[in-house]
Amino acid sequence: MNSKEHILTSVSLGMPPLPPPVLAPRRKTRQIKVGSVGVGSDSPISVQSMTTTPTTDINGTLQQIAELTASGCDIVRVACPSQDDADALPIIAKKSQIPVIADIHFQPKYVFAAIEAGCAAVRVNPGNIRKFDDQVKQIAQAAKDHGTSIRIGVNAGSLEPGIMKKYGKATPEALVESAVWEASLFEEHGFHDFKISVKHNDPVIMVAAYEMLAEQGDWPLHLGVTEAGPAFQGTIKSATAFGALLAKGIGDTIRVSLSAPPVEEIKVGNQILQSLNLRPRKLEIVSCPSCGRAQVDVYKLAEEVTAGLEGMEVPLRVAVMGCVVNGPGEAREADLGVASGNGKGQIFVKGEVIKTVPEDQIVETLIEEAMKIAEQMESDADDTTVQGGPVVTVS
């Protein structure tokens, strides 16, 4: 798009802006509620994480939930391995600003304790809760009485012995058979407010399992690559697996599992959804990888601009380019950009060069201009008479 065309698309023609394109429509599912958050194809895809504090440490857990909430977490899960943890749930569920899911393994009595504690939902792992199938009727009744939803959380590391005997290992078929069986038990007892996960640490098996499961019912699906690893590996595994599924419209809520602080999981989860236009984009830095033609230190420039604009809530696209080969083109496509060369930076705003500054003033100029655009975007958003909106360019 040349600058004239770009300006044309930016001008309001009295029409509301088109929603940004997505790769596929959402798979149609039944709708459930996790507290105040809807999960299913009628709701935006939500992002979850799990606290790492002992649940008995009520203040520490609530503090971590507050940090997660501030970073864009929609739903939080807490572990409940003991009676002391169960005893902490009523206060945590009451004081948390986002819905709390209790994560239950081994002991069925904590399923009931979590429901009575007012948790928004309970995650049950049918593979390792003792005599789980015998108790589905009572669990379904208690959940129904309290308006609690359930996640049937099948996990490759803890499949029921019968399924393991049949399949030998956690194949996609094994994960799906376990999930569908448990779903049928809940449905037999007239309980439908549940979502399902079939997690595996191998993205290929995980994707195959979710695709198979998506064919067999209209259950909302919670996506996760379990034990995905440290931040770098876990991010790649989750992004590739979630991307493959979300690109087909599969997935209603996601949890990125990283061996890293939970806030990092939320950042990655939000970024995955934003990248696929499944959540409104916020700050986006388009920076070149640099090469032998670069006339500035692109890495440093991109890092300094990113740090200077951290926390920006408006959908601002900023291009940081190292030379004049692709620089002006990308800088024009963005809301704001710089094309560097000869110790100077050409600053672009909405496709037009507004000034040229010496290299040592590039960062401060970009931040200053970004703040002006952000202010304008915010006041436009407040002013209902203003039509149109920021241009989202898809390259």
Residues forming the site for ligand SF4 (CB under 6 A)? 288-291, 293-294, 321-323, 325-327
CB of 341 to ligand SF4, least distance (A): 9
Q: Which of 48, 99, 18 is nearest to 270 (CA)?
A: 48
CB of 358 to ligand SF4, least distance (A): 19
Contact 129, 111 (CB under 8 A): yes
Chain centre distance of CA 73: 8
Q: Strand pairing partners for 343?
A: none
Choose between 212 and 324: whose C-beta lies nearer to ligand SF4.
Answer: 324
Q: Which of 68, 201, 192 is nearest to 78 (CA)?
A: 68
CB of 235 to ligand SF4, least distance (A): 23
Residue entry with tokens 């690109």:
247
The encoded tokens of residue 256 equal: 């990125």
Choose between 82 and 326: whose C-beta lies nearer to ligand SF4.
Answer: 326
What is the SS3 assignment for 60?
Answer: helix
CB of 314 to ligand SF4, least distance (A): 25
Choose between 385 and 395: whose C-beta lies nearer to ligand SF4.
Answer: 395
- 128 CB-near residues (< 8 Å, 6+ apart): 105, 106, 158
Burial group, residue 126, by CB count within 10 angstroms (0-12, 13-18, 19+): buried
Choose between 293 and 355: whose C-beta lies nearer to ligand SF4.
Answer: 293
State the amino acid at position 161 in one-letter form.
P
Per DSSP (E only), the strands in 69-176 are: 75-79, 100-104, 121-124, 149-155
CB of 365 to ligand SF4, least distance (A): 19
Q: What DSSP element (H or E) covers 261?
A: none
CB of 292 to ligand SF4, least distance (A): 7
CB of 306 to ligand SF4, least distance (A): 16
Q: Could you please report the per-residue DSSP string of 171-222? A: -HHHHHHHHHHHHHHHHHTT---EEEEEEBSSHHHHHHHHHHHHHH----BE
CB of 322 to ligand SF4, least distance (A): 3
What is the SS3 assignment for 54?
Answer: coil
In angstroms, the CA 231 to CA 258 distance is: 6
Choose between 19 and 289: whose C-beta lies nearer to ligand SF4.
Answer: 289
Contact 161, 212 (CB under 8 A): no
Choose between 175 and 294: whose C-beta lies nearer to ligand SF4.
Answer: 294
Choose between 262 and 327: whose C-beta lies nearer to ligand SF4.
Answer: 327
CB of 342 to ligand SF4, least distance (A): 13
Choose between 230 and 343: whose C-beta lies nearer to ligand SF4.
Answer: 343
Chain centre distance of CA 286: 21
Choose between 249 and 337: whose C-beta lies nearer to ligand SF4.
Answer: 337
